[in-house]
Chain A
């Protein structure tokens, strides 16, 4: 059951980045202050690569798939969450597009950028909430010992051999975000 705590922890980390991103996107609406776009790039890279390379593949394989087998009544829910993993990928691409347009056209493009971020953050929070409120409790009720072994093992291994990306790379990226982001989001200097 360590895996469930790990999933919640990973949700908290993504949430923290989303919250910081929303806050800085709001600050960036002031056309007199040029934002430090490097922070936005690091944050968006995090919410792009971490879920896609590490978090979602493990959920798909070791949480959603076995749950649909053990509790067929969850099948519709499982399908909709899998679809959301794909939809999230598409929405992140829109975010990357809006970032490039904003940096290239600054101060134009700020409202689009912020709108895209708010839409993504709402979407992703809603997604994580459904997982925590419906999927994790269902797993606790229905998982067999071998299901637990498999998911605990998946979330303990800190490396996805397919993606060739290690979890510690993401810890380092998270640290860099905190260093770059201006207060109160992080420890960096205020934008001037």
Chain B
């Protein structure tokens, strides 16, 4: 069952980055503030690649199929979560677009950026909540010993030899986010205000 803890931990990391991103996108609405776009890039890089390359494939391949086999009534829920994995990838492209346009065109595009951030964060929180409240309890109830072995192993290998991405690359990225982000989100310096 240590995989369940791992899934919850990964949700917490993604959540922390989303929370910081929302806060900083709000701070960046002040036209006198000059945001450090490197923080936004690092955060969005994280919430794009980590779920897509590591977290979702493990869920799709090792968490959902045994539940679908053992609990046919959960099929609809699983289909909707799989569809959300795809929908999330689309939403994050919109976020990436909004960031590029914001950085290039300045204050005029700040609102669209914060809207794209909020839309993505709300979407992803709802998604993770559904997984934690509806899927993980089903796994705990219905998984066989072999299901657990496979899920644990999938989270251990960490993980994706094809994508060539290792979990420690993401820990390094997470650390970089914390050092770049201004307080109270991270340990970086506060953003400068014009005339301050």
User: Which A residues have a C-beta under 8 Å from some C-beta of B?
Assistant: 38, 41-42, 44-45, 48-49, 90, 92-94, 96-97, 99-101, 103-105
Contacts and interface: CB of A to CB of B under 8 A. Distances in A.
Given A104-B38, A104-B45, A105-B45, A97 B93 contact: yes
Given A96-B93, A100-B45, A101-B49, 14 more contacts: A38-B104, A41-B100, A48-B101, A93-B94, A93-B97, A96-B96, A97-B93, A100-B100, A101-B45, A101-B48, A104-B41, A104-B42, A104-B45, A105-B45
Contact of B41 (A90, A92, A103): A103
- Helix, strand, loop or mixed for chain B's interface? helix
Given A45-B100, A48-B97, A93-B97, A100 B105 contact: no
Contacts of B99: 96, 100
Contacts, number: 46
A100 B93 contact: no
Contacts of B93: 90, 93-94, 96-97
Interface in B72-105: 92-94, 96-97, 99-101, 103-105
A96 B97 contact: yes
A97 B101 contact: no
A48 B92 CA distance: 16
Nearest to B41: A104
A103 B39 CA distance: 11
Contacts of B105: 45
B104 A41 contact: yes
Contacts of B96: 93, 96-97, 100
Contacts of A49: 101
Interface string B93-137: 110110111011100000000000000000000000000000000
Nearest to A103: B41
Nearest to B90: A93
A41 B104 CA distance: 6
B111 to A, nearest CB: 13
15 contacts: A41-B100, A42-B104, A45-B100, A45-B105, A48-B97, A49-B101, A90-B93, A92-B97, A96-B99, A96-B100, A100-B45, A100-B96, A100-B100, A103-B41, A104-B41
B44 interface: yes
Contacts of A103: 41
Interface in B17-31: none
B118 to A, nearest CB: 19
Contacts of B38: 104
A96 to B, nearest CB: 5
A149 B38 CA distance: 49
Contacts of A96: 93, 96-97, 99-100
A115 to B, nearest CB: 15
Contacts of A97: 48, 92-93, 96
